Amino acid sequence: MRWFSVGIKVVCLVSMMCTVSGIGANWGTQASHPLPPDTVVRLLRENGIRKVKLFDADYDTLRTLGKSGVEVMVGIPNDMLASLATSVKAAEKWVSKNVSAHSSSNVKIRYVAVGNEPFLETYNGSFLRTTFPALQNVQSALIKAGLSNQVKVTVPLNADVYASSNGLPSGGDFRTDIHGLMLQIVKFLSDNGAPFTVNIYPFISLYIDSNFPVDYAFFDGNASPITDGSLTYYNMFDANYDTLVWALQKNGFGNLPIIVGEIGWPTDGDQNANIVYAQRFNQGFMSHTLGGRGTPMRPGPIDAYLFSLIDEDAKSIDPGNFERHWGIFTFDGIAKYQLNLGSTNSGSLVPAKGVHYLERKWCVMKPSANLDDPQVALSVSYACGLADCTSLGYGTSCGSLDARGNISYAVNSYYQRNNQLDVACKFPNLSMITKTNPSVGSCRFEIMIEPYYGGAERRFGCLQKPLSLVALIIFFSLTVV
Ligand SMILES: *[C@@H]1O[C@H](CO)[C@@H](O)[C@H](O)[C@H]1NC(C)=O
Ligand SMILES: *[C@@H]1O[C@H](CO)[C@@H](O)[C@H](O)[C@H]1NC(C)=O
Ligand SMILES: *[C@@H]1O[C@H](CO)[C@@H](O)[C@H](O)[C@H]1NC(C)=O
Ligand SMILES: *[C@@H]1O[C@H](CO)[C@@H](O)[C@H](O)[C@H]1NC(C)=O
């Protein structure tokens, strides 16, 4: 009961804004088979998640959130920044269509996220010139629409926009190449009573640096502490967050509110991405923040959004195979592990209700198929290229499959992604359909859920659609020759 009362507490921050406390969640939709919005909204509510962060402003999603009381951060994708930066009119249209229209029908939009990690070094500076003007134009449009008291702008940034000169939080300052720009943005946020949003990922630190002390990524206090003046750090999150606090303070904005836009741990696709670590991290983070202790530099509640609610099987795997496995729920809304979000009594996650699956059948490698057939490698790379094989490989959930198991996994993923079309299990001399579940141990051979088409066109264009038969027929006629 105690947790429940924490979950619905309302906190009034700076200015006139009141926001719901408790953990939020990121709801991304880069999935081949996203759950319908009403299923997801019910999932949020039943798990006591009262704040959601979106990466766009999909109409159906927002309309569904309107009946929910859930507080919303809508997003502007990076590819829209240029047009919003150059045209106040475009910003006004965006706000009118994607904020005003929904606010007037009871969607609790509280933030507009302008861009998503636009200053990541991998973008080569593509958004350096457009982000700040877009932020200004969206803010002007919100003022013009009379919404600027209830809706605040922000820019979700990667934690690499700041760094420490001495390896300690107290050495924190903004990255030298964007220092001036960051100050302009921070001043603008401060002037408008808006928060700084940062994404913090101890998992990535571990992924890119095998010497990173594993225990320091978690919250159990098992790592050797780091001393910074009179303060002591037992985990990377606190140290990273406080590096930002120092950077803000050093530049005269020590009181700027901070939102942790993304925090989480993936469960597959890498040797450090697994259920045990993900639960340890997310539960550790929840206990850490529910205590209301804050960090050494900023005692008090931490406003944060878990990354992520549901797995997204169509995300780019450029950053790594783990990208498709950040969810606390699988693609079909099943809880991956026990997690007490502090908002329900039971302490365990409630799965999605009313999920419609396709038939119980799978595509697998024929027992008679020959592993040495040169066609096999071709078929597997074709299937994996168009479906999802990120659960195969060293240290993953299906990492202990043998070569035949690997091939079955690949062809099944392709078959399911194509909604179990017969033609999608016709790899020459290789595949067959079975009603026997090939899943073993931690390795789950998925059955896909029924496709949801409402709003899919707008969200994703043709990417979202199952592969066309034409492509399949071309592929098979080529390989049969
Ligand atoms: C509203 O948001 C959607 C989804 O992000 C976008 O496709 C659309 O262009 C936006 N509308 C306007 C008028 O900018
Ligand atoms: C950034 O630059 C690198 C090297 O010049 C290039 O390979 C990459 O495609 C560029 N990325 C983007 C997003 O422009
Ligand atoms: C299965 O596939 C993965 C990923 O492609 C590969 O790393 C592994 O070596 C394969 N295992 C076998 C036994 O072929
Ligand atoms: C399939 O197997 C048969 C018999 O082993 C063989 O004659 C045929 O060429 C194979 N077809 C392909 C496309 O590999």
Cβ atoms 371, 403 nearer than 8 A: yes
Q: Is 375 in the pocket of ligand 4 (CB under 6 A)?
A: yes
Give the tens place of pLDDT for each residue, 194-248: 999 999 999 999 999 989 999 999 999 899 999 999 999 999 999 999 999 999 9
The CA distance from 69 to 43, in Å, is 13
Nearest to 447 by CA among 325, 359, 330: 359
**Residue 472, CA distances (Å) to 16, 414, 423, 475, 476 in order:** 57, 11, 7, 5, 6
The number of the ligand 2 atom at minimal distance from the alpha carbon of 124 is: 1
Q: Which tens digit of pLDDT belongs to each residue from 297-320? A: 999 999 999 999 999 999 999 999
User: For residue 432, how many C-alpha atoms fall within 13 Å in the half-sphere facing its CB?
Assistant: 10
Q: Is 262 annotated in the active site?
A: yes
Q: What is the pLDDT of residue 473?
A: 41
Helix residue ranges per DSSP H, 418-462: 456-460
Each residue's pLDDT tens digit, 256-273? 999 999 999 999 999 999
Mean pLDDT of the chain: 91
- Out of 71, 92, 262, 446, which one is annotated catalytic? 262
| Region(s) of the chain under CATH 3.20.20.80 | 24-324
420-463 per-position pLDDT tens digit = 999 999 999 999 999 999 999 999 999 999 998 775 444 443 33
Among all bound ligands, the one having the nearest atom to the CA of 383 is 3
Residue type, 320: G
In the reported structure, the alpha carbon of residue 125 is separated from the centroid of ligand 2 by a whole-number distance in angstroms of 10
Ligand 2, atom nearest to 126 Cα: 14
The residue nearest atom 10 of ligand 4, judged by CA position, is: 429
Is the pLDDT score of 14 beyond 90? no
Secondary structure letter of residue 339 according to DSSP? -
pLDDT at 215: 97
Q: Do residues 98 and 84 touch, judged by C-beta distance below 8 A?
A: no
pLDDT of residue 3: 31
* 114: helix, strand or coil: strand
Answer yes or no: is pLDDT of 364 > 60. yes
Q: Which of 71, 92, 117, 323 is catalytic?
A: 117
Q: Choose the weakest-confidence range: 56-60, 179-183, 208-212, 466-470.
A: 466-470
Q: Which of left, alpha, beta for 136 (phi over 0: left; psi -120 to 50: alpha)? A: alpha
List the helix and strand counts (H, then E) for the chain.
15, 17
pLDDT of residue 290: 83
Residue type, 281: F
The preferred substitution site among 429, 475, 478 for testing ligand 4, maximizing ligand atoms within 8 Å of CB, is 429
Q: Residues of the chain with pLDDT > 90: what percent? A: 85
Residues with CB under 6 A from ligand 2: 123-124, 126
The one-letter code for the residue type at 46 is E
Asked if 312 is an active-site residue, the reply is no
Q: Are 331 and 413 in contact (CB under 8 A)?
A: no
Is pTM beyond 0.75 here?
yes
- Phi/psi region, residue 55 (left: phi>0; alpha: psi -120 to 50; beta: rest), is alpha
Q: Identify the residue whose C-alpha is closest to ligand 2 atom 13.
A: 123
pLDDT above 60 for 10: no
**Would the CB of 93 count as within 6 Å of ligand 1?**
yes
**Residue pair 92/102 in contact by the 8 Å Cβ criterion:** no
CA separation for the pair 226, 241 (Å, rounded): 14
Token pair for residue 242? 């406080």
Mean pLDDT calculated for residue range 131-142:
98
Q: How far is the CA of 436 from the centre of ligand 4 (A)?
A: 26
Buried (b) or exposed (e) across 448-463, using 16+ Cβ within 10 A?
Answer: bbebbeebbeebbeee
Residues contacting 219, CB < 8 A, separation 6+: 234, 235, 237, 281, 284, 285, 287, 288
Angle at 132 between CA 308 and CA 154, to 5 degrees: 35
Structure tokens, 34: 């996203």
Fold of 24-324: TIM Barrel (3.20.20)
